[in-house]
Structure 1
Amino acid sequence: MHKNRRGPINKVFLTIALIVVVIFAAVLTYFTWKMPSINQSVTNTAQTQPKANYSAIKKNINKKFNQNGRVVQIKEEHNINDQTSNKPHTVIIIKLTDPQTQKYLKASYEAVQNNQASDDQKVYIHSIQNIVSTQAKKLANNYDVIQFVYKDGKKYVPVASSQKHKDLIKPVKLSN
């Protein structure tokens, strides 16, 4: 019996196989370098949600509350997770900074809460709530919030808080 010998390697087959391997390696290298930038851009767009531009609303709020000097400070915070919504949202916070106005607002708001407010105090609180509610109707969605607060000791007390379609703090009812 004689042994089966392998024949000579076909040079054409070997050349084609080498070319295919080189092309495969080049394509693999190309996509490996491209993939991190593609993955990174997908990650970045998923993390940064489009933020609504509320500069016009903040400007209107500033006109309403800061007519006679700097009475309030307006701050916009993004990606807030709190009890008002289960989605991250934007909160525009209107902080009362004037000490005299804070004293009057605190007295008026506490009187309203205790059902002992005069008509002037009710109108004062109602007007703040009305401004906040009116500006909230201009928000981009129903998750974002506008909130008016004053500082009482170390904590902030919300007087008015509204979303686009609802008031989170019940508005003061005026006597007819």
Structure 2
Amino acid sequence: MNATNQQRTKAAKSNEHLRGTVLRQLAALAKMKTPELREKWRELNGTEPPAYKRQHLVRRLAYRIQEMYYGGLEERAKQHLAKLAETDALALVTGKPKKKAPGTQLVPGTRLKRRWRGVEYEVIVVEGGFRYKGTVYKSLTAAAEAITGMKLSGRNFFGLPKQTRVRRREAGGRSR
């Protein structure tokens, strides 16, 4: 056997030993009670454990053990995950922005009027929400609730078409 093959054999045996150690630790997690898991968390992370249920603690600790033995995510992967978390995942994966159903987007400056119980109400579409009587609401539904005092759909209240079916199909979900 040459030197390179000997190194590979030695590395393989070392990895097998590591793998066995990891598997034993993972199996031990399944048998631990919650206080033991919390102590293991302190040992591995150096912090107080979050108030997770036992099952979640086991999963997080299992990941941490494997991360310590096999290495964590590369920095590039971490950056990609962070980017996914703060953007539209579908657009990031496909490279295309999420399609909007034609005619369902309201342009800032649009005035929505509705006569209700003898009084005419007006809501103005603004960047980031809907303004009614000087207050900006995050959703049209919130503005409609401010007007009526009841929980109801803002789109229905102002007579706008529904978007639900289109959005579900675009997201790959089922439609009604």
TM-score by length of 2: 0.28
Greater relative contact order (Cα 8 A, min sep 6): structure 1 or 2? 1
Going by fraction, where is helix more abundant, 1 or 2?
Answer: 2
Going by fraction, where is strand more abundant, 1 or 2?
Answer: 1
